[in-house]
Amino acid sequence: MGNWKLNGNKAMVAQLITALQAPATQHPNVAVAVCPPVLFLGQAQALLTDSPIALGAQDVDIHDQGAFTGENSAHMYTEFGVQYVLVGHSERRTLHGESDAMVAAKFRAAQDAGLTPVLCIGETLAQFEAGETQAVVERQLHEVIAHCGIESFANAVIAYEPVWAIGTGKTATPEIAQGVHAAIRAFLANLDAKVADGVQILYGGSVKGSSAAGLFAMADIDGALVGGAALQADEFAAIISAG
């Protein structure tokens, strides 16, 4: 899944999506999705007609409609063919002050509209160095479980994104990432083994074509949420090929 963040223009959307059609079609066993900025969702939807590439949004409001200037609702996304919505990306948590409770409400709003939330969790560098990774991701998961129930993860994706690896070029090693992914799955399995077994857990943080295969070889790493490398067709194609 490519998270384009605040990048792109109409020409780039057309070029990138066109260039990704062939690699996505050649790897039908790999689920491919792109999350362009909201302004380009209509354009992307048109380009993705009959394409195996799914469409995602980067954020969602908790309300369905009303006096909430600047926001976009989950129901609005459904009119643009959107299937996935990122919730709780660390940039939203940090730059927009989103609390665990707010993230859980967004998760629920997405599911209520029939969308699949991609719950982003992960620790900061200070928390990593203090050995708090597991406590942090469990706290972030707990809030969603408390609001939406463990069964809600039967229709959700988790993205483990250590904040210290995002946009820094420092990918977590496959072993570090695998350790956290396994802990996340074990935490969920304590509540529902079937849900834990079925949920896709993506890794995010400086994933590139050259690092994807090593990550995907790990038992509990089911895919990647890709930022910078998702803006380059050849890099993203290499990640798809590694899937």
Residue 90: CA count within 13 A, CB half-sphere: 20
Does 157 help bind ligand G3P (rule: CB under 6 A)? no
Which residues lie across from 85 on neighbouring strands?
57, 117
Q: Which residue number, 152 or 206, has a Cβ lying nearer to ligand G3P?
A: 206
Does residue 155 have a known ligand-binding role? no
Does 226 help bind ligand G3P (rule: CB under 6 A)? yes
Contacts of 69 (CB under 8 A, 6+ apart): none
Does residue 164 have a known ligand-binding role? no
Does 206 help bind ligand G3P (rule: CB under 6 A)? yes
**Nearest approach, Cβ of residue 170 and ligand G3P (Å):** 9
CA distance 71 to 2: 22
Kindly indicate which of the ranges 77-85, 94-102, 194-202, 227-235 contains the residues binding ligand G3P, using the contact rule CB under 6 A.
227-235
Of 166, 188, 201, 238, the residue at the interface with ligand G3P (CB under 6 A) is 166
Does 3 help bind ligand G3P (rule: CB under 6 A)? yes
Are the beta carbons of 143 and 111 closer than 8 angstroms? Answer: no
Query: Locate tokens 């195996």: which residue?
Result: 52
Does residue 152 have a known ligand-binding role? no
Give the three-class secondary structure for 36.
coil
Choose, from 91, 98, 143, 161, the residue flagged as catalytic: 161
Does residue 206 have a known ligand-binding role? yes
Q: Which residue number, 106 or 195, has a Cβ lying nearer to ligand G3P?
A: 106
For the record, the structure tokens of 12 come out as 């780039």
Active site residue 132: no
Does 227 help bind ligand G3P (rule: CB under 6 A)? yes
Q: Which residue number, 87 or 229, has a Cβ lying nearer to ligand G3P?
A: 229
Torsion of CA 228, 234, 239, 243, to 10 degrees: 150
Q: What angle do CA 177, 100, 152 make, to 5 degrees?
A: 75
Kindly indicate which of the ranges 13-21, 103-111, 160-168, 187-195 contains the residues binding ligand G3P, using the contact rule CB under 6 A.
160-168
For the record, the structure tokens of 34 come out as 């792109």
Does 117 help bind ligand G3P (rule: CB under 6 A)? no
Does residue 8 have a known ligand-binding role? no
Kindly indicate which of the ranges 39-47, 60-68, 161-169, 178-186 contains the residues binding ligand G3P, using the contact rule CB under 6 A.
161-169
Contacts of 166 (CB under 8 A, 6+ apart): 90, 91, 122, 204, 205, 206, 227
Q: How many chain residues interact with ligand G3P (CB under 6 A)?
A: 14
Active site residue 89: yes
CA distance 10 to 128: 38
Instruction: Tell me the catalytic residues.
Output: 89, 161
Question: Binding-site residues for substrate, please?
Answer: 3-5, 167, 206, 227-228
